Amino acid sequence: MMDLNNLTITWLALPLLVGFGIYLFPRVDRPFATLAALGSIVYGGSAIARAEPLTLTLLNNFGVSLLVDSLSGFFILTNGFVTAAVILYCWGSDRKTFFYTQLLVLHGSINAIFLCTDLMSVYVALEVISIAAFSLIAYPRSDRAIWIALRYLFVSNTAMLFYLIGAVLVYKANTSFYFEGIQNAPPEAIALILLGLLVKGGVFISGLWLPLTHGEAATPVSAMLSGVVVKAGLFPLVRCALLVPDLDPLIRLLGVATALLGVSYAVLERDSKRLLAYSTISQVGFVLAAPPVAGFYALSHGLAKAALFLGVGSLPDRDLRTLRTLKLAPWLGGAIAIAALSICGAPPLGGFGAKTLTLDTLLPWQVIPLNVAAVGTVIALSKLIFLPWNPYFAALKLPFRGAEDASVQASHSGDLGADAAVLSPAAGSTAAAATSAPAPGVGLWLALPFLLGGLAIANGFYPQAYGLSSFLKLAVTLGIGWGIYGLLPRSLPLQLPRTVENLDHLIGAMSLGLVILFWMVMP
């Protein structure tokens, strides 16, 4: 029998080997890629089941150090599920082997992040992630895809340069790159490292690069980016918060701030994919808000968000106002609603246990803001739950909706410039809309049940969640959220400006973030 250390290293190398291997044998790319992803599911599951953590130091004192515990297990499981679902989704498409190679390189380097406990291995893995994600985003080779990919690479590389400077300062203080060394490092080192990880993880202001990238990338790539790639930035933060108690309050505070920021953007958003991207920012906040239980939340969010991106990417339009006037396929709409309900925290899905566990692990000062954020999540995702995918929701006339629909209809016939152009004249007649829609291939029907099944299984990780108090809390959250959703006019006149998403501002904001972080970590 192979011992655990060798097994871990073999498993770590497997996606990279398979990834480059299938480039030589393009005929078997998809089956082998799926097998590599399934391998991660098995390994992640066994890591959760194993009680004691496994520590590994490769070479000697300055070598790579790995730590496998249940926290890594949850993140690895997320990675395996989402990657497998994305491959299944792409099964029927005409994507070349290059795509799957990059996908597996991405998968393998994300796995590496979830094991590493030293700053340098994390740096290398994060940079490989940037390159692989760049190739995936730029895969369509259109001008816009290349620009979005270039922007992503530029932002993340600048952030990683700051991280690199921080890492050497930690080395200077400890003559080692291990995470524990952060304890003794000067405040500027901590600020630099945190900045790098916050940008990669899409946290707070430094995460505002994320909506455009996740919104404009191709559907399976968005699912991958939102489902797991942001977690690669989060995991080192969570690990640091657990290893270095001094950092824990700061990480929790950042989590709360991120949850509120993301939710307030999401509530005001009209575009379905950007709505999901903003929701990712807010969910990232929930993951950080309670580091000890971050793994479970990351798992349930990753599965649900990947399902949402795959589902929403197959809808005939992106604008929520247009979608409300269409008649949607019941199965697709139902699957989207189930995934959205999981993010809202409804049973019997993984989101229920995860949200209950996270809200139970909060510090007293976090409780009120995070419950507000939970209500905001419900309001934002209601836009997707109440799309007219069944006759009842189609007939549902909430207050203000009649007037709103009328104005949408009016803008059809009228000449309201850009808005009228977005609302295609096909709205209302499903036959015409179906021709313009990307036909949801057979891959979608493999991927969605897979992800939703994963969510149902994830529900079993925390059976203690099923108590009267958590049901009551959920009922109140959903009630308030749906109540506000019903009362709000369907498209708010207020739209937040997108100026902050310009490349210059994103890079400039990093210097501000650095100063703020420096003041926060000053003893």
Q: How far is the CB of 135 from another protein (least distance, A)?
A: 8
C-alpha 5/C-alpha 367 separation (Å) is: 41
Answer yes or no whether residue 271 interacts with another protein by CB under 8 A: yes
Residue 123, exposed/middle/buried by CB under 10 A (0-12, 13-18, 19+)?
buried
- Cβ distance to another protein smaller for residue 71 or 212: 212
Give least dist CB 508 to another protein, A: 5
Q: Specify the 3-state DSSP secondary structure of 397.
A: coil
Helix, strand, coil share (%) of the chain residues, nearest 5: 75, 0, 20
Q: How near is the Cβ of 170 to another protein at its closest, in Å?
A: 11
Interface with another protein (CB under 8 A), residue total 41
Measure the CA–CA gap between 273 and 280, rounded to whole angstroms: 11
CA dist 278 and 145 (Å) reads 20
Question: What letter would DSSP give residue 131?
Answer: H
Residue 56: in which H helix or E strand, if any?
Answer: strand 54-57
Nearer to another protein (CB atom), residue 367 or residue 500: 500
Q: Which is nearer to another protein, 36 or 509 (CB)?
A: 509
Identity of the residue, 495 or 511, whose beta carbon is nearer to another protein in the bound complex: 511
Residue with smaller CB distance to another protein, 142 or 464:
142
Tokens representing 213? 């990238």
Query: Looking at 177, 235, 309, 485, which residue binds another protein (CB under 8 A)?
Result: 177
Compute the least distance from the CB of residue 404 to another protein, in Å.
22
Question: Among 15, 215, 227, 255, which residue interacts with another protein (rule: CB under 8 A)?
Answer: 215
Nearer to another protein, 217 or 244 (CB): 217
Binding to another protein by CB under 8 A, coded x per residue (else -) over 46-85, reads ----------------x-----------------------
Residue 158 near another protein by CB under 8 A: yes
**Nearest-approach distance from CB 198 to another protein, in angstroms:** 17
504 binds another protein (CB under 8 A): yes
CB 126 within 8 A of CB 167: no
Which amino acid, one-letter code, is at 345? G
Running DSSP on this structure, what letter comes out for residue 115? T
Q: How far is the CB of 350 from another protein (least distance, A)?
A: 31
Cβ-based neighbour number of residue 456 at 10 Å: 16
CA distance 17 to 394: 50
In whole angstroms, the minimum distance from the beta carbon of 194 to another protein comes to 17
Cα dist from 352 to 344, 355, 357, 467, 473, whole Å: 8, 5, 8, 11, 11
Answer whether 298's CB lies under 8 Å from 353's CB. no
216 touches another protein (CB under 8 A)? yes
Is residue 393 classed exposed, middle or buried when 0-12, 13-18 and 19+ CB atoms within 10 A define those classes?
A: middle
Q: 126 to 155, contacts with another protein by CB under 8 A? A: 127-128, 130-131, 134, 138, 141, 143-144, 146-150, 153-154
Give the number of other Cβ atoms within 10 Å of residue 487's Cβ.
10
| Residue whose CB is less far from another protein, 82 or 148 | 148
Whether the CB-CB separation of 232 and 200 falls below 8 Å is answered with yes
Comparing CB distances to another protein, the nearer of 189 and 299 is 189
The residue (of 464 and 495) whose beta carbon lies closer to another protein is: 495
Closest CA to 358 of 298, 293, 283: 293
- CA angle, residues 374, 376, 377, in degrees to nearest 5: 65
Closest to another protein by CB, 96 or 172: 172
User: Contact letters (x/-) for another protein, 289-328, by CB under 8 A?
Assistant: ----------------------------------------
Please identify which residue in 11, 81, 89, 123 interacts with another protein, judged by CB under 8 A.
123
Q: Verify cis geometry, omega within 30 degrees of 0, for the bond prior to 348.
A: yes
Interacting residues toward another protein by CB under 8 A:
62, 120, 123-124, 127-128, 130-131, 134, 138, 141, 143-144, 146-150, 153-154, 157-158, 161, 164-165, 168, 171-172, 175, 177, 212, 215-216, 271, 498, 502-504, 507-508, 511
